[in-house]
């Protein structure tokens, strides 16, 4: 399905209310009920009386219940809507399998699909269940040590063009999967990358940081991986970072020093870490770092 100039504008500027009003007219001319839905939801967003808001919500619910199944049917088999805007899927989820790259390529043709969630497939989940039922060892955070990485070499075959948010959280791809992901093609600008609980170490972080597909990352979630100070130093290549989650990584004082030396240090508005992630010495490094915004320094002085 080709994207019209108006749809492309809305992909780039999803908060452009005038463009949505124009698009609602286009859809209404095509007898698409989402044209009416846009009108109703834009009215609801404005200040109106309580009685009118109740009536608007009632009509929105009726339209959605009547048509959402058929709207979601526009997605390819094996792809589900995770988030929607005016009835259109904006974030979709795919279970990882041999067919996943083709399904993702087809899903990306959706008019407003710019956010992608890739989940472990059924085979990976069964393998994990067997591992944890056997009673795995516990790490110093009192959390179970993860089993070996899932097979995810096929991530290199992905075309991530047009994707703004990529979410692989809890898909334990490890360093091999991260290196495969780094080879994926992207002609767009991925701004949010969620890799929580993915089992990624320093080599995987370095591969992603040097990949041309992720040069525009603003928000990076790396909670509970296997990074050390060396891996944090590799993250310096993400020069535009604004939010970084490194909780439950053993980065130590060396990692704290790498953070304040990174080119994004002064632009950070959110930095999630625990004292034991960076050690007492690392806390002092962060608390006294002039490179960090004053709000972040003040927080670390109180830790």
Q: Which fold has domain 68-302?
A: 3.80.10
Q: What are the tens digits of pLDDT across the range 76-86?
A: 999 999 999 99
Q: What pLDDT does residue 144 have? A: 66
Highest mean pLDDT among 51-60, 131-140, 239-248: 239-248
pTM of the model as a whole? 0.91
Residue 87: both structure tokens together: 């009835």
Measured distance CA(67)–CA(76) in Å, rounded: 17
Structure confidence at residue 48 (pLDDT): 73
- Per-domain boundaries in the chain: 1-67, 68-302
On the question of pLDDT at 1 being above 60, the answer is no
Residue 4 Ramachandran class (φ > 0 left, ψ -120 to 50 alpha, else beta): beta
The tokens describing 244, both together, are 């970084």
Read off the tokens for 172.
């334990």
């Amino acid at each position: 399905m080709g994207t019209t100039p108006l749809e492309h504008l809305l992909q780039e500027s999803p908060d452009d209310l005038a463009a949505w009003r124009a698009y609602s007219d286009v859809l209404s001319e095509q007898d698409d009920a989402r044209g009416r839905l846009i009108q109703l939801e834009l009215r609801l967003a404005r200040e109106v009386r309580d009685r009118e808001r109740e009536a608007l919500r009632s009509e929105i619910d009726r339209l959605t219940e009547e048509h959402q199944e058929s709207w979601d049917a526009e997605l390819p088999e094996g792809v589900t809507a995770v988030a929607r805007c005016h009835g259109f899927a904006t974030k979709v989820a795919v279970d990882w399998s041999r067919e996943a790259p083709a399904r993702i390529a087809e899903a990306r043709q959706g008019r407003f699909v710019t956010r992608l969630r890739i989940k472990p497939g059924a085979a990976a989940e069964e393998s994990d269940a067997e591992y944890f039922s056997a009673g795995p060892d516990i790490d110093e955070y009192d959390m179970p040590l993860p089993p070996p990485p899932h097979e995810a070499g096929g991530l290199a075959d992905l075309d991530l063009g047009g994707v703004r948010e990529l979410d692989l959280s809890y898909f334990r791809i490890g360093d091999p999967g991260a290196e495969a992901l780094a080879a994926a093609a992207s002609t767009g600008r991925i701004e949010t990358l969620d890799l929580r609980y993915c089992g990624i170490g320093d080599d995987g972080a370095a591969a992603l940081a040097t990949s041309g597909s992720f040069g525009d990352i603003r928000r990076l979630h790396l909670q509970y991986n296997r990074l050390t100070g060396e891996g944090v130093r590799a993250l310096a290549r993400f020069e535009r970072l604004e939010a970084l989650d490194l909780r439950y990584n053993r980065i130590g004082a060396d990692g704290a020093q790498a953070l304040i030396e990174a080119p994004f240090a002064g632009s950070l508005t959110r930095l999630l870490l625990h004292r034991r992630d960076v050690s007492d010495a690392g806390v002092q490094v962060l608390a006294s770092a002039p490179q960090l915004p004053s709000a972040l320094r003040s927080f670390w002085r109180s830790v």
